[in-house]
Structure 1
Amino acid sequence: MMKRVMLFASIVFLVSCGEKLIEQPENLIARDQMVLILKDMAIVNAAKSTNIGKLKENGIDPTTYVFDKYNVDSTRFVDSDRYYASIPLEYEGIYKEVESLLEEEKERLKELKERNDSLKLLQREEKDLLDNQDL
């Protein structure tokens, strides 16, 4: 009997995860674009927490910047976000994709930094070599 109850509860849970709780908005942001918006929002929110002074100094509102970049307004974003959130498996997939893109970006920036550091080291060594030749 307990196995049947657990099986029934599992089936209900799985079906409810795929069920749409709210209607799709007319102006729904496409899933791929939503992923990119959320990725950029994560980046600008991280920037806000570390360099808010620079952003204010340059008159940049990070959220407005992202919305302008993707030509969406806050209402459309909220409606789309709420819709995707009403489909838990879809929403989880979106955030996993965002996380993956952020990891890729992190690795790309790490490689660029390492290349830049290597270039600086070579330039320093070249300068030292030239300075020693002058002596």
Structure 2
Amino acid sequence: MRKIFLLISFIILFSCGEEVIDMPNNLISKEKMIDILYDMAIINAGKTTAPQVMEERNFVPMQYIYKKYEIDSIQFVSSDLYYASKPLEYEDIYEKIEERIKKEKERFEKQNENKKDSLNQEK
């Protein structure tokens, strides 16, 4: 994952306004890419929070992603590199992911608050 991030950063730094990378034939749609990268962010958060759970269940994150979205590693990497070669498009993708994560966080915080309120009322 770190190598991919470094490669993407390298592409972004050296891309001007020209087509750095040709569009792959099997390009993953922008909306699907947002979903994939969102899921990857959630999985990575889970790996840092409770890695033993994933180990116990033999959970392999990228296998799960590939199966869920019916893609393969080459399609994912080539699509990711293509979007990364377009900094404004890539920034938009990550802004949408960040917005989605914030909404989910707010939803969970509200649920926790409601649970605490109901527990306090029971006492």
Fold shared, TM-score > 0.5 on shorter chain: yes
Tell me the secondary structure at the aligned position of residue 24 of structure 2. coil
RMSD: 1.6
2: CA distance between counterparts of 1:63 and 1:113?
A: 30
Identify the residue that residue 35 of structure 2 maps to in structure 1: 36
Shift, 1:92, TM fit: 0.8
Identify the residue that residue 64 of structure 1 maps to in structure 2: 63
Contact 1:67 1:74 in 2 (8 A): yes
- Structure showing greater Rg: 1
TM-score scaled by length of structure 1: 0.74
Q: How many pairs does the alignment contain? A: 109
1:23-79: CA deviations, max 9, x gaps? 110111000010111111011001111111011111211222222221112111101
Between 78-87 and 56-65, the greater mean CA deviation after superposition: 56-65
Q: Name the amino acid aligned to 1:76.
A: Q
Tell me the secondary structure at the aligned position of residue 59 of structure 2. coil
Q: Name the amino acid aligned to 2:32.
A: Q
The structure carrying a bigger helix percent of its residues is: 1
% identical equivalent positions: 42
Matches within 5 A, 1:75-114: 75-114=74-113
TM-score scaled by length of structure 2: 0.81
Give the ranges of 4+ consecutive aligned residues of structure 1 lying more than 6 Å apart after TM superposition: none
Which blocks of at least 5 consecutive residues in structure 1 are unaligned?
Answer: 1-15, 126-135
Identify the residue that residue 120 of structure 2 maps to in structure 1: 121
Q: Name the amino acid aligned to 1:72.
A: I
Q: Name the amino acid aligned to 1:77.
A: F
Which blocks of at least 5 consecutive residues in structure 2 are unaligned?
Answer: 1-15
Identify the residue that residue 7 of structure 2 maps to in structure 1: none
Shift, 1:118, TM fit: 1.9
The structure with higher relative contact order (CA 8 Å, sep 6+) is 2
